[in-house]
């Protein structure tokens, strides 16, 4: 196992998640926002260090997306629950369900590609990347809404944008999987 600097930063990000959840449970939105920012910083740093210092690893390739999903999933679940901070905009549960369902769909697609087509990689599309940015932005705006009233409307707009982008991204992944299976089938018949 290679515990280089990027992998340690990823493990640190995973370690921040419980602290982030506890801060939200305690209604400490400012603290949760700082912890979310720290997690985001470690995400940017681990990728930078891995590329610049050529410290990429198989372990990091698995840990990094797990850490990202752990953080965003925790954020969406926690920000959907009733809070001790009544000023905080809540993410509607149906949006959280969409976000989680899309991630499960992606996991299923990766498993199908790996098992049926012996293709372990399924790169994110542009819409998926935009969706990820919108998801992170929504979490930040929702937390800011608990600190400043002026963030309520931007948070709500971003939440609904996340819902739309999540559906579009899920459809895109399904379409891309269908294309890959069709290409594989036509290649097998040739």
Same domain as 153, residue 125: yes
What letter does residue 38 receive in the DSSP assignment? H
Same domain as 89, residue 74: no
Domain termination site, one of 56, 78, 100 = 78
Same domain as 112, residue 58: no
Enter the tokens of residue 59: 């372990």
pLDDT at 82: 86
Q: Which residues contact 58 (CB under 8 A, 6 or more apart)?
A: 2
Same domain as 186, residue 94: yes
pLDDT at 2: 64
Q: Tell me how far apart the alpha carbons of residues 111 and 114 are, in angstroms, rounded to a whole number.
A: 5
Q: Is the pTM of this model over 0.75?
A: yes
Ramachandran bin of 169, using left for φ above 0, alpha for ψ from -120 to 50, beta for the remaining angles: alpha
Instruction: Give me the residues of the chain with pLDDT under 50, please.
Output: none
Q: Are residues 159 and 132 in contact, defined by beta-carbon separation less than 8 angstroms?
A: no
């Amino acid at each position: 196992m290679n515990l280089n600097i990027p992998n340690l930063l990823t493990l640190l990000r995973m370690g921040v998640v419980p602290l982030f959840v506890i801060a939200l449970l305690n209604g400490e939105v400012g603290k949760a926002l700082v912890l979310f920012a720290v997690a985001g910083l470690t995400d940017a740093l681990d990728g930078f260090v891995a590329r610049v210092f050529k410290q990429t690893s198989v372990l990091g390739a698995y840990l990094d997306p797990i850490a990202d999903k752990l953080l965003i999933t925790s954020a969406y679940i926690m920000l959907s629950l009733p809070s001790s901070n009544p000023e905080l905009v809540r993410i509607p549960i149906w949006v959280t369900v969409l976000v989680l369902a899309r991630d499960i769909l992606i996991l299923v697609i990766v498993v199908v590609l790996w098992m049926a087509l012996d293709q372990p990689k399924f790169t994110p599309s542009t819409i998926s990347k935009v969706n990820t940015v919108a998801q992170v932005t929504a979490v930040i705006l929702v937390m800011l809404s608990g600190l400043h009233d002026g963030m309520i409307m931007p948070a709500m707009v971003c939440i609904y944008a996340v819902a739309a982008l999540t559906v579009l991204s899920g459809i895109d992944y399904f379409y891309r999987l269908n294309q890959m299976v069709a290409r594989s089938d036509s290649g097998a018949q040739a």
